[in-house]
Structure 1
Amino acid sequence: MDCCSQPGLLPVAQAIKLMRAAITPITATENLSLAKALDRILSEPIYSAINVPGHNNSAMDGFALRHQDLNSEAPLKLIGQSLAGHPFKGVVNQGECVRIMTGAVIPEGADTVVMQENVRAHDDIIHINQRPKPGENIRRAGEDIAINSLVFAQGKRISPVDIGLLASLGVAEIKVFQRVKVAVLSTGDELKPLTDKLQAGDIYDSNRPTLIALLSRLNLEVIDIGCVADDPEKITAAFTRAINVADVVISSGGVSVGDADYTKEVLETLGNINFWKVAMKPGKPFAFGVLQKPNAIANKGWFFGLPGNPVSAVVTYHQLVLPALRYLAGEEFDEQPLLNISIQSDLKKQPGRADYQRGRLTTQGGKNYAATTGNQSSGVLSSVAQANCYIVLEQERGSVKAGEKVNILMFDKFLL
């Protein structure tokens, strides 16, 4: 009996572990300008070539002075000013000070900045009303990032803030992993394009547009194979085309046990199916396999078979496919943290599968509250659209009473 037909279901954590073991992360790289680097994955570490800030500068508008001159109550003489981009070129000597603006270079000789609110000025005579501490209000060179220090490790996904940080270091180009190519298709005679008029028994193909949109958040190269009828020859042709143009094939529908679900038998002719059933709800009929192909990463590609029900497709993509794709793309990342929150209402559940119920976490009066979004049927996509988190109920847990603690997994940027 193979792993596809055994009665037991694969726990979610084990499914993720098996997929990771079977996947070979991408190694091909390319150089990109910083302007095109958003959501790309670094293929090498980045070290700073400069100090940030590059010089000691003022954290306040005020006056730069020598702290030792404050040992007496004698006023100070104003000898010039230091502005951002226009530093004072002289030296601050005994009994002198310089007017300074936020971000301006600390003049030679000065070691402290007093806030302008704490002085009295009369022409070029400055009286200190409130004595600052030594070195106060000065941002030191390299305080943010020191020269030669590690800025980002290999595997970092570049965020908008990361781009700003790299720009502050003068980095104009970075080396990243090439984008993974993902082919997406749907199977099912009942599925119709959005331009068609529905007949009895027809439904619109919502999974493919959803998956393509979700994949766009990863900045992958997405190839739309289209919708394929429940016909072995057509399914074979579609999968053959898909694996010839992509590193990964993601399909929805055709992975359950119905008489017209031909995807499994087709895939067995194109490669190996590693597992077929996962102990999760929604999403038990989830498949993963390795497909043989020419001119690909290590001459093979990977297949993810998602259930046809819309919610099942979204949840299995988010919880199983997404971490696998991020690993394949060369990204290093941490698991999403879980929150432990009291649930506001009873939750129905049977032991045997981990349940990812769709919920909403809100804050009222400084306290967090969690509740489901209502109907948890795997066909009710609005349960996801109205949610901002999963209520994760462990595999062997049963029904939950209002007030019990449950684990909350917040939706991330790859789903919201």
Structure 2
Amino acid sequence: MTLELNTSQAAVSCFDQPGQLSVEQGRQALLDAVDAAAKPQIIQQPIAELAGCVLAEDVISPINVPAQTNAAMDGFALALPEDGREVFESEYELVGKALAGHGFAGELKTGQAVTITTGAPVPAGANSVVMREICQSGDNRVVIEKPESLRLNDNIRQAGEDLATGQIAVKAGTRLTPAHQGLIASLGLTEVAVFKPLVVAVFSTGDEVVAQGQPLPAHSIYDTNRYSLIALLKKLHCDVIDLGILPDQEAVLAKTLAESAVKADVVVSSGGVSVGVADYIKTALAQVGEIGFWRMNIRPGRPFAFGRIGKDLINNPSGSAWFFGLPGNPVAVMVTFMQLAQPALRKLQGETGWQLQGIPALAGEKMRSREGRTDFHRGIFGFNSDGQLEVRTTGTQGSGILRSMTEANCLIEIGDAHAAIAPGDTVNIYPFADLL
């Protein structure tokens, strides 16, 4: 297991949730259940491998960034008089060069200038940098074609302007991006403390589910959900254990769940969580752990199971893991992962400050739904001729139409208070940018 459990407080139980839950109720129940229940281990990670990691400790800047006051562009560093005037002279004595990595050793006197390159330290006495494009130089002189544009401290980056010594550069709980990598690298650090990635075991269920590379028998389908889930989990920087396809046999499912909890922090399955005669996930989980809610007012994806393998994730973590049982339909499995599992997984990873946020957009067409249920249509958003954000569906919205997810760039949320959406109504959209 890669989780160090916080024994100072018990996990908030979601296992007494009654009946069917709304999407918001379900999402909050998941977050409450994992809240402070587990603290990921901390490891030191080289800066070249930080993208996707979650920072475990604040990164404190050991230096000023930039380290010295420097030029923001190529041109000439000038020593302008600081006597309160607003208009400056057009001609200056050119006394040397300040190049990036070298600088100029002397101190400029009023009326003097040096050639300077971007990033080069501004010489002592210089108080403005003017771009080369509006200058003429020669015979140890530089002439400013537009002296009225000169200003004190123009085009100068002050030492510590980006980060001062001792300032927090990146806060703990941040999921690191390439931009964070560059910032941390600029501090001269070679490694930082991050949370160890979650280990997630994944499997598909169903006697009708067949692995790729073999003939497709009658009444069967090729396994798609497992590959979608593995890709989604890797986007979240999880270490994935692929358990393949499991048959509809309660004993096999129970044994696999128990064994997986020894190796993984989280177990994710697809299929087998409904009320069919061959849907055994719920009963198998009851043998080796505890089941949470499993019916939700969401479409696609009404059957959704959550639980824990092992009775006590707090005081007896060995052989314990969280469990997410997702629906079997290909679209439903991705919708429920993004809307329900994703927020809880991010919290388990130690990520803070992230939340699922809808963006308002205008409906470009009529959209059907049903009161009392939250629908997620696959959508394509963009800007209309008036410059307003507008969204349309991908067409037919069946939960088995996987092609719709490849054509879409967002999910369109139709809340449980609406039976339909008219063109021009405002809806919330959830862009795929984070994961897909």
What range is the shorter-chain TM-score in? over 0.9
Question: How far apart are residue 27 of structure 1 and its match?
Answer: 3.2
Task: Find the counterpart in structure 2 of residue 250 from structure 1.
Answer: 268
CA distance in 1, matches of 2:280, 2:90: 92
Task: Find the counterpart in structure 2 of residue 217 from structure 1.
Answer: 235
RMSD: 2.1
The structure 2 residue matched to 1:93, chosen from 109, 113, 134, is 109
CA distance in 1, matches of 2:92, 2:421: 72
Question: How far apart are residue 60 of structure 1 and its match?
Answer: 2.1
CA distance in 1, matches of 2:323, 2:47: 32
CA distance in 1, matches of 2:228, 2:30: 23
The structure 2 residue matched to 1:127, chosen from 137, 143, 149, is 143
The yes-or-no answer on 1:383 pairing with 2:408 is no
For the 8 Å contact 1:279–1:354, the answer to whether it is kept is yes
Task: Find the counterpart in structure 2 of residue 350 from structure 1.
Answer: 370
- 2:399 is aligned with what amino acid? S
For the 8 Å contact 1:37–1:158, the answer to whether it is kept is yes
Q: Percent identity?
A: 40
The yes-or-no answer on 1:408 pairing with 2:429 is yes
Normalised TM-score (structure 2): 0.90
Task: Find the counterpart in structure 1 of residue 317 from structure 2.
Answer: 298
Question: How far apart are residue 266 of structure 1 and its match?
Answer: 0.9
The structure 1 residue matched to 2:30, chosen from 12, 16, 19, is 19
For residues 287-317 of structure 1, give each alpha carbon's deviation from its aligned partner in whole angstroms, at most 9, with x where no partner exists.
1011117999834311100011111111001
SS in 2 for 1:318: helix
Question: How far apart are residue 230 of structure 1 and its match?
Answer: 0.8
Task: Find the counterpart in structure 2 of residue 116 from structure 1.
Answer: 132
For residues 144-201 of structure 1, give each alpha carbon's deviation from its aligned partner in whole angstroms, at most 9, with x where no partner exists.
1111111111111111111111111111101111111100011101000002211110
The structure 2 residue matched to 1:164, chosen from 158, 162, 182, is 182
Task: Find the counterpart in structure 1 of residue 79 from structure 2.
Answer: 66
Task: Find the counterpart in structure 2 of residue 227 from structure 1.
Answer: 245
CA distance in 2, matches of 1:129, 1:42: 50
Question: Structure 1 pair 281/97, CA: closer, same or farther in 2 (3 Å)?
Answer: same
Task: Find the counterpart in structure 2 of residue 341 from structure 1.
Answer: 361
The yes-or-no answer on 1:38 pairing with 2:70 is no
For the 8 Å contact 1:255–1:306, the answer to whether it is kept is yes
Question: How far apart are residue 4 of structure 1 and its match?
Answer: 8.5
The yes-or-no answer on 1:394 pairing with 2:410 is no
**Stretch moving more, 91-100 or 204-213:** 91-100
**Stretch moving more, 107-116 or 304-313:** 107-116
Task: Find the counterpart in structure 2 of residue 10 from structure 1.
Answer: 21
For the 8 Å contact 1:120–1:126, the answer to whether it is kept is yes
For residues 324-364 of structure 1, give each alpha carbon's deviation from its aligned partner in whole angstroms, at most 9, with x where no partner exists.
11100111133243222221221111111111111000224
- 1:30 is aligned with what amino acid? I
CA distance in 2, matches of 1:33, 1:240: 34
What is the number of residues matched between the two proteins?
413
Question: Structure 1 pair 4/381, CA: closer, same or farther in 2 (3 Å)?
Answer: farther
CA distance in 1, matches of 2:91, 2:425: 67
**Stretch moving more, 394-403 or 264-273:** 394-403
Normalised TM-score (structure 1): 0.94
CA distance in 1, matches of 2:192, 2:15: 43
SS in 2 for 1:68: coil
Question: Structure 1 pair 306/121, CA: closer, same or farther in 2 (3 Å)?
Answer: same
For the 8 Å contact 1:346–1:399, the answer to whether it is kept is yes
Question: How far apart are residue 5 of structure 1 and its match?
Answer: 9.9
The structure 1 residue matched to 2:328, chosen from 278, 283, 308, is 308
SS in 1 for 2:81: helix
CA distance in 2, matches of 1:388, 1:302: 30
The structure 2 residue matched to 1:49, chosen from 28, 39, 62, is 62
CA distance in 2, matches of 1:86, 1:228: 65
Question: How far apart are residue 31 of structure 1 and its match?
Answer: 0.8
SS in 2 for 1:298: coil
Structure 1's consecutive aligned runs of 4 or more residues displaced over 6 angstroms after TM superposition are: 2-5, 69-72, 293-297
Unaligned ranges ≥5, structure 1: none
For residues 26-68 of structure 1, give each alpha carbon's deviation from its aligned partner in whole angstroms, at most 9, with x where no partner exists.
3311111111222111111111011111111111222212210
Question: Structure 1 pair 95/331, CA: closer, same or farther in 2 (3 Å)?
Answer: same
